Chains A and B, each alone.
Chain A
Amino acid sequence: MNSSIAATDFTGDVRHLEDSRFAVPGMRCAGCIAKLESGIGGLAGVAAARVNFSAKQLAVSHDESIDDRALIAEIGKLGFEAQPLSVNPLGADHAERRQLTRALGVSGFGMMNIMLLSVSIWSGAADITRELFYWLSAMIAVPVVAYAGRPFFSSAWMALRHGRTNMDVPISIGVLLATGMSMYETVFGGGEAYFEGSVMLLFFLLAGRVLDAMMRDRARAGIEALLRQQAPGAMVLDGIGATRWVKAADLKPGDRMLVAAGENFAADGVIEDGSTSCDLSLISGESAPQRRTADDTVLAGSVNLSAPVTVRITAAGPDTIIADIARLMDEAGQSRGRYVRIADRAAKLYAPAVHALAALSCVGWLIAGAGWHQALTIATAVLIITCPCALGLAVPVSQVVAAGALMRRGILVKDGSALERFALVDRALFDKTGTLTLGRMEPLGLEALSAEQASVALALAQSSRHPISRALHRALKERGVSPAPVEQIGEEQGRGVHGLYRGARVALERPAQDAATTGAATRLVVGDTHIDIMLADGLRPDAGQAMARLAALNVPASIVSGDREEAVTQIATALGLPAQAHALPQDKIAAIQALQAEGHKVLMVGDGLNDGPALAAANASLAPGSATDMGQQAADAVFTGDSLVAVPVMIDAARRTMRVVRENFVLAIGYNVLAVPLAILGYVTPLLAAIAMSTSSVIVIANALRLRSCAR
């Protein structure tokens, strides 16, 4: 139905086609799909364009005549912002989910057909019919178990080989023993077979696994769409004054690069020509722009704010400060790998108990004088009854429901283990710039402008792409100001924008030197009057409310920032939090480790490159959607939007999830406590086992569904 693609036909012309994928977060409706597919699909050199609306991605199959940059420009012409994605970074995860779903389909088929046969046996099929049905069940069950059980068998085998145990060990033993016993009964006749039990167990458990994998894939796709992934690079000047685009990885020390206002520096270097202000907030956390003129050093990852400069590269690629931070992050992330998930912790207690119980009942019945055959049958029944069917669902179902609720709230959780770790958090550390603050400049004191001044300022600001102009433009637009009819608007690089309004000269200019040293500012000139407008990085709108909710959750917060003392103190007093200023990435890790040494579980909330190592070292970490790619990749969860309330919401939702998970454990184990005595005494029939298994699963799922509204 929907399989057709917008395509240009190449008649009999065999070309080498490349596939490119783009994240297009701006698509919202059917019209956007049609526009993108017909607009891009119709371009020369493009064979096909296909939108994946769920993932907000556009896949384009094209030949060499059109490259990614050209395609992004074309998508831009259609009115969408696009980011290139690497061809299939999720391929491995995807394959895992597909394999699990296929196994789920196969076990579902097996379960239904075996159940059909089993119901007739339970309702009294006898003699040859019964024997025939058992054989048919065996013929379905054995291949189904062999295929659908593989994920469990291989995981259990891995655990056993490393001398550990996990949930998959009792599952695998239970399934294999039940199938083996049933096979024996079928061949030699007599007893009852548990084929439907073992296949049903696999079906329920696979359902849990598939949900788990789906949650992970969805969150990753969402985060991928947020990443800028802009292949960093620079316009490099060659000897004769021409420029060409060079990828960051190919830049060499000694190259001269031209960096326009608003662009990132792709490598560390020294300014040769020009002077500008740089935004270092992503590297050091400093919010105030830094003035840089000839012979000053600039760092990769910082943003050139005001004027184009020529930079001679001193260090590129693995020698830059960014690369150092990345190495620090890798080391810091290793400690988190030691976290043991709650299901595996439960299995550590549960598996030995269950196996001991089964062995004991076998021995008990032997001592009581029963034959080998009867004792083994009862031991198998015990294993089947205790097999952690509901236990295997208890964790993934709760986490999937919670993650879905959080996703609707704009919080993308990368995996279930992150939810478990968030629930344990009892200390929070916040980065300042870009986390507690918006990380973008907001003009202050706009109320002081008259209506005329405001509309002149808007008219000037909207004609320039300078960061200060853009901030002013956005802020004035939000206030509902409409632009004044300013004529002869011109922009002078490094000086400002100017024009004529009712015969008078109007301008947005660089202010006097004293104002410039305290932070970003611009001077609005209207005729003879002039007003200095200061810009500062403001607090997120509901930061105070978020801190109050955190305190109510018993999570004391504090600030670790790389910024200057004064800037940090200002925010810290506004929020009433203790603060540490001038923190290097190493200091942030040290602060986390000091808290961890006291036995606290630490949550790190940060966005910058300098937060990356701390995000990886903390017990749990959260990054805003505006964070650097590195920050988002290091964090366990990413929240979109400006609201910092996402932090307490996330912790609260995680705690409620764990509460439900624990309830589910109690429900699942409680049912075992009731059923196990019956099994030990030999009263459990396959019918009883099937009923018990499905009801306990349904109860656990129903309980987990209560989490649908957990993210409020």
Chain B
Amino acid sequence: MNGLLILIPIALGLGLSGLSAFLWAMGDGQFEDPDGAAIRILIDDEGPGDVGA
């Protein structure tokens, strides 16, 4: 029983942190351009002021 008092808040906390991460990602527009995100990694960074990593 005592174990539960620790484990349940941990489980709920993990779930809530997952949910808030998801909501943040949506609000931040992380799902707006999935194809772009996949190929942006291929952009070579050259010179200052160029497209960042």
Contact = CB atoms under 8 A, between A and B. Distances in A.
A53 B39 contact: yes
Of A2, A52, A55, A102, chain B has the most CB atoms within 10 Å of the CB of A2
B8 A136 contact: yes
Interface string B26-53: 1010011111110111111000011111
Contact of B36 (A4, A54, A112, A113): A54
Interface in B12-33: 12, 15-16, 18-19, 22-23, 26, 28, 31-33
A373 interface: no
A101 interface: yes
Of B8, B16, B42, B43, chain A has the most CB atoms within 10 Å of the CB of B43
Interface stretch (A31-39, A226-234, A655-663): A31-39
A109 interface: yes
Q: Is the interface of B mostly helix, strand, loop or mixed?
A: helix
Given A1-B53, A102-B26, A33 B15 contact: no
A113 B15 contact: yes
Interface in A8-54: 29-31, 33-34, 37-38, 42, 51-54
Contacts of A98: 26
A52 B42 CA distance: 15
Contacts of B53: 1, 4
A54 B15 contact: no
Contact of B50 (A31, A38, A53, A55): A38
A53 B51 contact: no
Given A34-B51, A52-B32, A105 B1 contact: no
Contact of B43 (A3, A34, A112): A34
A666 B20 CA distance: 38
B19 A105 contact: yes
Nearest to A51: B36
Interface residues of B, number: 31
Interface string A271-308: 00000000000000000000000000000000000000
Contacts of A53: 33, 35-36, 39-40
A113 B8 CA distance: 9
Nearest to B5: A132
A207 B1 CA distance: 36
B22 A30 contact: no
B51 A37 contact: yes
A109 B44 CA distance: 39
A468 to B, nearest CB: 39
B51 A106 contact: no
Given A6-B50, A37-B51, A53-B36, A30 B26 contact: no
Interface string A406-430: 0000000000000000000000000
B17 to A, nearest CB: 10
B4 interface: yes
A4 B18 contact: no
A33 B4 contact: no
A340 B40 CA distance: 43
Nearest to B45: A34
Given A101-B26, A105-B23, A105-B26, A33 B11 contact: no
A113 B10 CA distance: 11
B15 A129 contact: no
Contacts of B40: 2, 30, 33, 53
Nearest to B40: A2
Contacts of A51: 33, 36
B51 to A, nearest CB: 5
A54 B51 contact: no
A199 to B, nearest CB: 13
A227 to B, nearest CB: 20
A106 B15 CA distance: 10
Contact of B33 (A29, A37, A55, A128): A55
A54 B16 CA distance: 30
Contacts of B19: 105-106, 108-109
Contact of B11 (A3, A29, A52, A113): A113
A53 B32 CA distance: 9
Contacts of B11: 113, 116
Nearest to B35: A54
Given A38-B51, A55-B33, A30 B15 contact: no
A101 B19 CA distance: 12
B1 A129 contact: yes
A246 B36 CA distance: 37
Contacts of A112: 15
Given A2-B36, A3-B28, A54-B36, 7 more contacts: A6-B50, A30-B43, A37-B51, A42-B49, A53-B39, A55-B33, A113-B15
11 contacts: A4-B52, A4-B53, A30-B41, A31-B43, A34-B43, A34-B50, A102-B23, A105-B23, A105-B26, A129-B1, A140-B12
Closest 10 pairs between A and B when the two form their complex, measured CB to CB: A53-B36, A4-B52, A30-B42, A109-B19, A54-B35, A52-B33, A105-B22, A30-B39, A34-B43, A30-B43
